[in-house]
Amino acid sequence: MQGTLSEQEVIRREKLAELHKLGIDPYPAPLYHITHTAKEIKSKYNGENGDDFKEVSIAGRIMSVRDMGKANFAVIQDSTDKLQLYIRRDDICPDEDKTMYNTVWKKLLDIGDIIGVKGYIFTTKTGETSLRVEEFTLLSKSLRPLPIVKVDEQGNVHDAVTDLEFKYRQRYADLIVNPDVRETFKKITKMKNAIRKFLNDRGALEVDTPVLQSIPGGAAARPFTTHHNALDMPLYLRIANELYLKRLIVGGFDWVYEFSRNFRNEGMDRTHNPEFTVLEFYTAYKDYYWMMDITEQLLQETAIATNADSKVNVNGVEINFQAPYKRISIYEAIEEHTGVDVSTMDEDQLREVCKKFNVEIDKTMGRGKLIDELFGEMCEHHYVQPTFITDYPIEMSPLTKKHRSKDGLVERFELIVNGKEIANAYSELNDPIDQKERFEDQLQLMERGDNEAMYIDHDFLRALEYGMPPTSGIGFGIDRLAMLLTGHSSIQDVLLFPQMRPEKSTKTETKESEE
């Protein structure tokens, strides 16, 4: 939020005016020719190949300056790394006019300004690879000071910006002053690329499905609602893309996938954000046993591609994505951690068990929701290493095929890692009559007040009536997987712009580093 300008911001605007008076455009045309990056220079220059670095042009943000009178050392940061500059007055002002050094460089530039520099690479007496500047150009004047972050000669960061309100709300500034944050998001891109490669190499087809939907189907969740003016009809932001992807299986595609941006109008915490990314894929002529095998392969290969190791460390806990993973039914898991066999219990009996273990429930919950709450409270947190929880009650899974050999159950699994669900998969229900009856059961729950019960999607039922082959499908929580593979415990740390409460009107001022 804008408020009264700080002293530093006032000074920077005065400098902006001085630059204009000197005829210097502080925001020139965007084209600036760059020959090298900081990382490339530091990794390839060895002191003996100086001829390859005689004409270097690089651009970046000023991060620190050391004033030594007629010469300065400075550090600029581009998207790859930091690089030290050596700026000598007579190098950049060889003629009588010393304005560019004495006035522009020493008085009108600030930490945070973006400049382009040209010169040659050399090694200082202390062994630091540096660029001796022969020309510099102001590319963008920074009007707001950066927070103070100090880095010692060994590269250790001191006074790192850790204020979460600042980090999440002003991610752009967080990325500038905390290089490790940039590395997190580069790693997430690497993770997504590895997943795409795994699926593409096996013949899967990436597709796009609607974000605005007339029926919020495919999951048990509370949707965001909106209104389409031209059609004069309500629409919903996508809570899942499942039903559309299965329509494509009906249409003749054998394996489709989508990185889907989904929206759920529910609570926010360290593992939930109102908008999030899910990978879903559906494969014809496969079942949930096959899906467990392919999931193990996918996650093992993705972990290695992201971190060069199947093992990751999350808050001191080592998690290994090396296949195979443990498999246990949900009833067995509940009995293991409560000592109670709930497999044959009705709704009233389940309510008594929940009360016994102080599991919070309400009158809107049916049998499936009660079992889900009991497992979530009493069992889920115990499964740190990747574990498949299998064979769910039919009441919990309205889109899942009935188990081929176990009455009252469906062919479904959830993958739990570090105490949280990472993936949810089924042998998909392809019987349109059975599916209609399941939807109608959900409608009854909705009438009881369950605001997460599924709507009836009549067009999806019509698609199933054309015939959908036996199919297995899965949905991965990409943000939660990113948390694991980057070692973070909060979903906000793996979202570039997490949802925040409205910003307070008071303005937090930051001090500029003079380093």
Structural domain contains residue 141: yes
Asked whether the beta carbons of 250 and 463 are under 8 A apart, the reply is yes
Neighbouring residues of 436: CB distance < 8 A, sequence distance ≥ 6? 456, 461
Q: Are residues 209 and 82 in the same domain?
A: no
Q: Are residues 26 and 130 in the same domain?
A: yes
Q: Are residues 140 and 194 in the same domain?
A: no
Structural domain contains residue 263: yes
Structural domain contains residue 82: yes
Q: Are residues 224 and 80 in the same domain?
A: no
In this structure, what CATH number is given to the domain that contains residue 58? 2.40.50.140
Structural domain contains residue 425: yes
Q: Is the previous residue joined to 324 through a cis bond, with omega within 30 degrees of 0?
A: yes
Q: State whether residue 104 is helix, strand or coil.
A: helix
Structural domain contains residue 462: yes
Per-residue confidence in pLDDT tens, the chain, 515 aa? 456 899 999 999 999 999 999 999 999 998 999 999 999 999 999 989 989 999 999 999 999 999 988 889 999 999 999 999 999 999 999 999 999 999 999 999 999 999 999 999 999 999 999 999 999 999 999 999 998 766 556 656 554 567 888 999 999 999 999 989 999 999 999 999 999 999 999 999 999 999 999 988 888 788 999 999 999 999 999 999 999 999 999 999 999 999 999 999 998 898 899 999 999 999 999 999 999 999 999 999 999 999 999 999 998 999 999 999 999 999 999 999 999 999 999 999 999 999 999 999 998 898 988 999 999 999 999 999 999 999 999 988 888 999 999 999 999 999 999 999 999 999 999 999 999 998 888 888 788 877 767 788 999 999 999 999 999 999 999 999 999 999 999 999 999 999 998 887 544 444 444 44
- The pair of structure tokens assigned to 377 is 């409270």
Structural domain contains residue 2: no
State the Cα angle at 258 between 252 and 261, rounded to 5°: 140
Q: Are residues 33 and 132 in the same domain?
A: yes
The radius of gyration of the chain's CA atoms, rounded to the nearest angstrom, is 29
Count of domains observed in the chain: 2
* Residue with the two structure tokens 């100086």: 50
Q: Are residues 136 and 217 in the same domain?
A: no
Q: Are residues 112 and 202 in the same domain?
A: no
Q: Are residues 76 and 220 in the same domain?
A: no
Query: Phi/psi at 14 (nearest 5 deg)?
Result: -65, -40
Helix axes 432-447, 458-465, angle to 10 degrees: 170
Q: What DSSP state is assigned to residue 269?
A: B
Q: Are residues 402 and 258 in the same domain?
A: yes
Q: Are residues 255 and 392 in the same domain?
A: yes
Q: Are residues 482 and 406 in the same domain?
A: yes
CA distances from 115 to 73, 101, 131, 258, 336 (A): 15, 14, 13, 40, 62
What sign does the CA torsion over 392, 323, 319, 481 have?
negative
**pLDDT tens by residue, 150-193:** 655 665 655 456 788 899 999 999 999 998 999 999 999 999 99
In this structure, what CATH number is given to the domain that contains residue 193? 3.30.930.10
Q: What is the pTM of this model?
A: 0.88
Q: Are residues 313 and 441 in the same domain?
A: yes
Q: What DSSP state is assigned to residue 493?
A: G
DSSP symbols for 412-472: EEEEEETTEEEEEEEEB---HHHHHHHHHHHHHHHHTT-TTSPPP-HHHHHHHHT---SEE
Neighbouring residues of 461: CB distance < 8 A, sequence distance ≥ 6? 432, 435, 436, 439
Structural domain contains residue 352: no
CA distances from 409 to 394, 404, 406, 412, 436 (A): 5, 9, 6, 9, 18
Structural domain that includes position 36: 7-146
Q: What DSSP state is assigned to residue 402?
A: B
Structural domain contains residue 380: no
